A and B are shown apart, each in its own frame.
Chain A
Amino acid sequence: MDIDTGVVLAAGEGTRLRPMTHNRPKPMLPAGNRPILEHVLDALVGAGVSRLVLVVGYKRDRVQDHVGPTYRDLPVEYVVQDKQLGSGHALLRARDAVSDPILVVNGDRIIDEGMTTSVTEVFDGETTLGVIRKANPGHYASVDAEAGRVVTLLEDRDEPSFPFVNAGIYAFTDEVFDRLEATPRTNGTLPITDAVVAEIEDGTVHAAEVEGLWADATYPWDLLYLTRRLLEERRVNGTEQHPGVFVAPSARIHATATLQAPVVVGEDCEVGAGSVVGPNAALGRNVTVGANATVVDSMVDTDTRVGVASTLVETVTGENVDLGAGTVVSGGPGDVILDDRVFRDRDLGAVFADRVRTGGRVAAEPGTLVGPGARLRAGVTVSGRVGANAEVTR
């Protein structure tokens, strides 16, 4: 059954992705050379909705500025969730903006266009949940379904798992709002699934099995995985000049530069003489790669400058980062420290968050996280974590 309104929950920060989320919410983080959110919106457009409602909150200006009043000709309405108290709480904010059945998705997980369509096809006026076959549920809710009905949904990871996980794609009638209102909060928050569980017990929730690209970034290094996957799926912006080499028409590539597939170079980029970009590299908009630099297995975000003769391997940069000449990030595996937890042997060279500035010849040990606005003096070698706006002089 057709659904007119797509609701996107895009209010959360994504704290585990710090320091990348200092200036923008997780849905606005780049995957390939487009924000995660665009992939989500494309899936809703593909399902045939005629209007979009975005629930925004944390750093909402960045969502509004990027998406604007319409997306691919569909009108976009914004509703604000001031406090991030769970997905159900976020959905409730949209109550006044919708009346018909709604298709609800998370703004921070890449989904395939076919998935939203599968859910609307199953939806007949009763709550429908997209489920994806997955042997190991990880931290996703495990779901059991029989004969097209959801039988059990378990958020608790310690429980024995079922064949499916919750794909986070829901079709509801507007009765969902009354049910959410009636659902008590747990620990102050209200997940959507809390309201769905009661319905599952009544046996009225349809399961729609979905297939395709379903990818999420939990930690900063996952952005490299997403970039690789999206290049594989060719879901990047740019004209395919050679197989797997995507270049925006306004980008300027020096005749002696080499682009190695798969790779994408965004709008307004300049790639200098003798440089090598790719494989598995994505340059966002207006990135400058200086002469004789090498960028491999990396995601370089908008307005960033990579100095001449730099080497970046398995590197994530935020926006407007300025890396001086001869910067060296030699890649993982490395141990990454995040919230007093150590993640061993991650495939991560370094993360430079928004507006990091470095002098020349800076080197980063594997797994380094450099916070937004940090200044690294010429010649230093950094490792572990560098705080926001820190100055590293030796």
Chain B
Amino acid sequence: MCGIIGCAGRGDATLETLVDGLRKLEYRGYDSAGVALADRAGVDVVKKSGKLDALVDALEGERDRLDGTVGIGHTRWSTHGAPTDANAHPHTDAAGRVAVVHNGIIENYQALRDELTEAGYRFRSETDTEVVPHLVARALDDGLAPEDAVRRAVSRLEGSYALGVVVAGVDALFAARRDSPLVLGLGDGANYVASDVPAFREHTDRVVYLEDGEFARIEADSWVVTDADGDPVDRAVNTVDWDPEDTGKSGYDHFMLKEIHEQPRALRQGLQGRVDEMRGTVTLEEFPSLSPTRVHLVACGTSYHAAVYGARLLQSRGVPAQPFYAHEYASAAPPTDGALVVGVSQSGETADTLSAIRTAMRRGAETVALTNTVESTMARECDHRLYIRSGPEIGVAATKTFASQLVALNLFALDVAPGGDDREAIAALRDLPGNVQELLDDSGAAEVAEAYADAGSYFFIGRGLHFPVALEGALKLKEISYEHAEGFAAGELKHGPLALVTENTPVFAMVTGEGEGARKTIGNVKEVEARDAPVVAVTDGRTEVDRYADHVLRVPETHPRVAPLLANVQLQLVAYHVANDLGRPIDKPRHLAKSVTVE
């Protein structure tokens, strides 16, 4: 996925505005970046493969050339074509009249490319995007006015796109969206367009979310949104309520560590006004009373692990519930059978999850979006919305949003399937922010990470509600340390994976409470200990697991349903410190983007 920014009306600050915006969008992809400014004579483009700093270096000495007051910028994460200078955006036509930035995939690009090549338009990159400037150029050649030329080009495209287009001699930029996020920012004497609000949040908090099939013309002092036919549509102006504050690192070396430490605050936000411990009730705003006979949870990556946890929680309250990988659900959907389908996605823009939700909707299922992003595509398309209220997350590796998802799933389970122990469960949720703070005050994870930073492989085992945390612990470590890690249901270990266990494979075991699950997991700990594997117990100390462990990571005692959230914070810290000890670029791991908006 990629990030787009565009602005009109920033005068001499245009280039700075674009580069600052790109920096805020870097989390969306970062294997190349570029900007284009339009003036009377033409469009000037500078683009570079590599991180944004490579572009900033390339801009040195080019600043005099780049003097337009309307511009677009792009950070790219490759889907078509390698991350080279040529493949970087913006893309232009042969004459340098048109520049285009694009997020998404143009599915009919080969046909369009053949058609344009036939007509004499020469291509310089391997990207699907490059068909767009040539289509615009061709329409201009046919004598169309710039806006009409852009509209005609857009009408030819199939697939997904968020587009930003500038044309030489026009003091406006054009934007269009289908199945890729795009939002307008309305400033004072300047207007913006971007993939996401942080790109222009320092300039304005007033935004307009574009819908699929809509087109926008943006100038310094005006903006208009039209439908595919060119008829103006009346779009509401929203005010975003979070600050640019959320884009700084507050004294931490990495966003990831900042966000791990923000969890008490994020969890408080997620609970605020929603729980009443004295009455034992949950109140979810603008959420209907649902009593589903079954629930399907669809998600990918970290959100899938939240879905596994959510399904188990619902099952424990008597609701048949299953988690599914969204991409599998979309291509091989099980019978919906009256299921309520819950999409779990931090961004609400995950293409695979949207695809699964749309599949379910086509089959007549009622849908719920469980997301961090108000007005995201998933939030708008689903029948109901449950916001996790975690606040913006910048680090590519999800941390606080996973915790917030688990809390929201607890609230969801309490709401749709009330039970006998609700007051106790709510008390545990209310205690959770303080428990996380207690853990953060004295974690011990850095020492464990240091002891095992050169291990060959890492295993994580857990049972019941700890199983999804074992999966997530392994994923976090993989994502940011590039080391091999696997999560297993504790009981599954002896059915195969035990063969991989050696003295060089630390095993992290989640053991909380003193029930049967804890006892059995201790049995699994003994199995790996007998193979000389170092054992790290993540435990509340209520059993004797310490005795079999080489290291202990302590978590506060709490209710069984929230203990996994605490264990997870310890594993986040282990992953962070291992990656940090290995010198990895923690906030921007290779090959990964914050939210994956391509299928």
Contacts and interface: CB of A to CB of B under 8 A. Distances in A.
A76 B250 contact: yes
Interface in B409-436: 430-431, 433-435
A220 interface: no
B259 to A, nearest CB: 11
A23 B441 CA distance: 7
A270 B277 contact: yes
B278 A254 contact: yes
A-B complex: 5 closest residue pairs judged by Cβ atoms = A69-B248, A78-B251, A303-B434, A70-B245, A320-B434
Given A302-B434, A303-B431, A320-B438, A69 B249 contact: yes
Contacts of B268: 267-268, 285-286
B287 interface: no
Given A61-B440, A286-B430, A303-B434, A73 B251 contact: no
A184 interface: no
B251 A56 contact: yes
Interface in B9-49: none
A268 B248 contact: no
14 contacts: A56-B251, A64-B251, A65-B265, A68-B246, A69-B247, A69-B248, A70-B248, A76-B248, A270-B278, A288-B277, A303-B431, A303-B433, A303-B434, A320-B434
Interface in A292-334: 302-303, 319-320
Contacts of B247: 69
A252 B278 CA distance: 9
Contact of B243 (A54, A59, A70, A286): A70
A220 B465 CA distance: 42
Contacts of B264: 65
Contact of A288 (B243, B272, B430, B437): B430
B333 to A, nearest CB: 40
A75 interface: yes
B469 interface: no
B273 interface: yes
A392 B264 CA distance: 30
Nearest to B252: A64
Interface on chain B toward A: helix, strand, loop, or mixed SS?
A: helix
B278 A60 contact: no
B262 interface: yes
Interface in B246-277: 246-252, 258, 261-262, 264-265, 268, 271-273, 276-277
B431 A252 contact: no
Interface of A: 23, 54, 56, 59-65, 67-70, 73, 75-76, 78, 80, 250, 252, 254, 267-268, 270, 272-273, 285-286, 288, 302-303, 319-320, 354-355
Nearest to A286: B430
A67 B250 contact: yes
B434 A65 contact: no
A293 to B, nearest CB: 13
A69 B431 contact: no
Contacts of B262: 65, 68
Contacts of A56: 251
Most chain A beta-carbon contacts within 10 A, residue among B268, B431, B437: B437
B434 A319 contact: yes
Contacts of A70: 243-245, 248
Nearest to A373: B438
Contacts, number: 81
Contact of B272 (A267, A270, A302): A267
Nearest to B261: A65
A56 B252 CA distance: 12
Contacts of B249: 69
Interface string B102-146: 000000000000000000000000000000000000000000000
A355 B248 contact: no
Nearest to B426: A270
A57 to B, nearest CB: 11
B202 to A, nearest CB: 10
Contacts of B252: 64
A319 B264 CA distance: 13
Contacts of A59: 441
Most chain A beta-carbon contacts within 10 A, residue among B250, B264, B435: B250
Interface string B219-252: 0000000000000000000000001111111111
B223 to A, nearest CB: 25
A319 B440 CA distance: 14
Contacts of B434: 286, 302-303, 319-320
Contacts of B441: 23, 59, 62
Given A68-B246, A270-B277, A320-B435, 9 more contacts: A69-B245, A70-B243, A73-B243, A76-B248, A285-B268, A286-B433, A303-B434, A320-B437, A320-B438
Contacts of A75: 248
A72 to B, nearest CB: 10
A62 B261 CA distance: 9
A68 B271 CA distance: 20
A254 B279 CA distance: 10
A60 B261 CA distance: 12
Given A65-B265, A303-B433, A355 B438 contact: yes
A272 B435 CA distance: 22
Contacts of B265: 65
Contacts of A62: 441
A64 B248 CA distance: 11
Contacts of B430: 268, 270, 286, 288
A273 B268 CA distance: 24
Nearest to A252: B276
Contacts of A320: 431, 434-435, 437-438
A270 B272 CA distance: 12
B276 A64 contact: no
Contact of A69 (B250, B272, B276): B250
A107 to B, nearest CB: 14
Contacts of B246: 68-69
Contacts of A80: 251
Most chain B beta-carbon contacts within 10 A, residue among A59, A63, A64, A69: A69
Contacts of B244: 70
Nearest to A65: B261
Nearest to A68: B250
Contact of A64 (B261, B277, B278, B435): B261
Contacts of B440: 61
Contacts of A286: 268, 430, 433-434
A136 B242 CA distance: 47
Contacts of A319: 434, 437
A250 B285 CA distance: 14
Contacts of B251: 54, 56, 60, 63-64, 78, 80
A252 B273 CA distance: 9
A270 B280 CA distance: 12
A271 to B, nearest CB: 9
B152 to A, nearest CB: 44
